[in-house]
Structure 1
Amino acid sequence: MGILHFEFMRNALLVGLLVSIACGVIGTYVVVKRIVFISGGISHTAYGGIGLGYYLGFNPMVGATIFTVASALGMGLVQQRSRQREDTVIGVMWAVGMALGIIFVKLSPGYAADLMSYLFGSILTVPVRDIGYIFMLDLLIAGIVYRYFDEFKAVAFDEEFARVSGLKTDFLNLLLLFLVALTVVVMIRAVGIILVIALLTIPPAIAGEFSHGLKGMMMLAVLLGIIFTSAGLGLSYLFDLPSGATIILVAAVGYILALLCKR
C-alpha cells in the first residue's frame, strides 16, 4: 500500500480504472462480433496521428484520435462497399499508418523523448491533461453505448436478423468501429499500441466464459480489467518491469487460469 503515497502511482491507478471501463464495455462487442483483427488495424494506424502531432507541435493524443477514427470509418466503409478483401485493406491501412508515423517523427524537430511510451505503454508517466482527455472519451463511449445498447446487441449477435428487422446495420457498424477507435486511444498510454489488442480482448474473453448476458459480461470484463491493471502496476513497481507489458502478462495468466477453471 506504500505505493499509494506516490502521486504518479495514484494517477496510474486512475488511468487503469478508466482504461478498464472502456476496454470492458467495447471489448465485449469486439469479442462477440469477432472483429479483433480490425481493432488491431485501427490501433496501429494511431501511430501516424502520434507522429503528426509531434511534427505539427500539438498533443499527440489528439492526432491519434483523428487517425484512429478516420481509419475505423475507412475500414467500415471499405467493408460495406468495396470488392477488395477486407483483411487486405486492413493490412494496408495498418502498414501505412505505421509508416506515416515513422516519417513524421523523423521529420519532427528535436527528439521525441517519450515516443516509445506510445508503442509499449507507460501508464506511470501519463500527464494529468491526458487523464482528463481519457475521462472525457470514457464518458462519450458510455453515453453512446447506453443510447444504442439494444441495437449494438442485435448487430453483434445476429447482424442479418437485425438488418431484416429494420435496423440501420451499416450505421451501427460504423458507430461501433468509431467507439473501438476511441477505446484504442484511451488504452494507448496505458499499454501502448502494440499491446492494445490484448487488453481489449483478454478481459472480455474471460468474462464471456462465465457470463450469460451482455451486461454481465461487460461488468465482469471491467472488473477484470481493474484487477489486471492494478496487479500489473504493483508487480512492475516491485520488480522494476515495464508497466504495459507486465499488465498484459498478468492478464494472459488470468486467461489461462480461467480456461483451466472452466475446464
Structure 2
Amino acid sequence: MFELLDFFNYSFFNRAIILSILAGLSCGIIGVWILLLNIPFIGVTIAHCAFAGAIVGLFLGINPVLSGFVFCILAAFMINPISRRIKSQNNISINLLFSFSIAVAFIFAGLFKEHITDLFSLFWGNLLISTLSDVFVNTVITIILILFAIFFHRGIIALFFSREISKSCGIPENLIFTLMVLLLCSTISINLKSIGGLLIYSLISLPAATAYQLTYSLTKMYLLSVFFAVSACVTGLFISTFFSIPVGATIILVSCIIFIISLLYKKR
C-alpha cells in the first residue's frame, strides 16, 4: 500500500494520473457517439490511420501526434462521404483504407533502426513518459470536446436517430457530423503515445459498449462510459506501474473485465 502511495511523490506519475483522467473523459464521450451512430469500422479505420501517420512522422522526424492527426484528417475527408451511403462498395472502400494504413504502419516500423523505444510506445502506449505539454494539449482538446457535446446536444441526438430526418428539419447535420469526426481524430491523435495506436480504439469502444448494456438514458450512458473509461485508465496505470507491465495493454484488459462484469447486470 505504501509503495503505491509513494508513486505520488513523482511528478511523472502525477502527470500520468491527469492524462488517465483526461483520456477516460474524451474516449468515453467519443465512444458513445461511435456506438449510437453505428460507425464502428469508421472509428477503427481512423484510429489505425492515426497510428500509421504517427509512425511515419516519427520515422521522418516529425511530431507523431501532428502527423497522426494529419493522417486522421485525410481519412476523415475520405470516410465522411462514404458513411452517407451504406452500400457494399463503400464498405469495401473503408476496408481498403484500413488495410492500407496497417500496411504503411508496419512497413515504416520495419525500417526503424533508431528510436525503438519511441516506436514501441506508439504500439502499446506509455502514460509514464508524458510531458507537461501533453497534459496541456489533452486538457484543451477535452474541454473543447465537452463543450461541443453540451452545446450541440440536441443536434447530436437528432443524428443518432436519422441524418436524413435531421437535415429535413433544418439541422446542420453534415457540419455536426464533420466536427464529431474531427474531434474523434483529435482524441485519437493526442492519446496515441499514452494508450498506444493498436489499443486506442478499444478504450473508445469498450466503455461505451459497457454503458450501453446498463441504461437506456443518453445522459447516463455518457456518464457511465466516462466513468468506466476513467476507472480503466487509472486502475490500469496503477497495476502496470506496480507490476512493471505495459500500461496500454493493462488499461484495455481492465476495460474488458469491466465489460464482462456488466453483462451480468445488463438491462438489455
Give the TM-score normalised by the residue count of structure 1. Answer: 0.90
Gaps of 5+ in 2: none
- Distance in 1 (CA, whole Å) between partners of 2:117 and 2:155 is 43
> In the alignment, residue 23 of structure 1 is paired with which amino acid?
C
SS at 2:216 equivalent = coil
Give 1:192 deviation, angstroms: 1.0
SS at 1:130 equivalent = helix
> In the alignment, residue 68 of structure 1 is paired with which amino acid?
C
Q: Structure 1 residues 166 and 57 mapped into 2: Cα distance closer, same or farther (>3 Å)?
A: same
Count of residues paired in the alignment = 263
Partner of 1:26: 30
Give 1:186 deviation, angstroms: 3.0
Partner of 2:210: 206
Deviates more, 1:215-224 or 1:35-44: 215-224
- Distance in 2 (CA, whole Å) between partners of 1:82 and 1:261 is 33
Give 1:165 deviation, angstroms: 1.8
Partner of 2:138: 134
Give 1:102 deviation, angstroms: 4.3
- Distance in 1 (CA, whole Å) between partners of 2:63 and 2:123 is 16
For the aligned residue pairs, the C-alpha RMSD in angstroms reads 2.3
Partner of 1:86: 90
Partner of 1:77: 81
SS at 1:260 equivalent = coil
Give the TM-score normalised by the residue count of structure 2. Answer: 0.88
Residues 173-192 of structure 1 aligned to structure 2 (within 5 Å): 173-192=177-196
> In the alignment, residue 39 of structure 1 is paired with which amino acid?
G
1:215 maps onto 2:219 in alignment? yes
1:114 maps onto 2:121 in alignment? no
SS at 1:261 equivalent = coil
- Distance in 1 (CA, whole Å) between partners of 2:163 and 2:55 is 36
User: 1:176-214: CA deviations, max 9, x gaps?
Assistant: 222221221133222211112211011112222333322
1:228 to 232, 250, 253: 232
- Distance in 2 (CA, whole Å) between partners of 1:224 and 1:51 is 29
SS at 2:198 equivalent = coil
Deviates more, 1:214-223 or 1:162-171: 162-171
Q: Structure 1 residues 37 and 81 mapped into 2: Cα distance closer, same or farther (>3 Å)?
A: closer
Give 1:223 deviation, angstroms: 1.5
Aligned-pair identity (%): 25
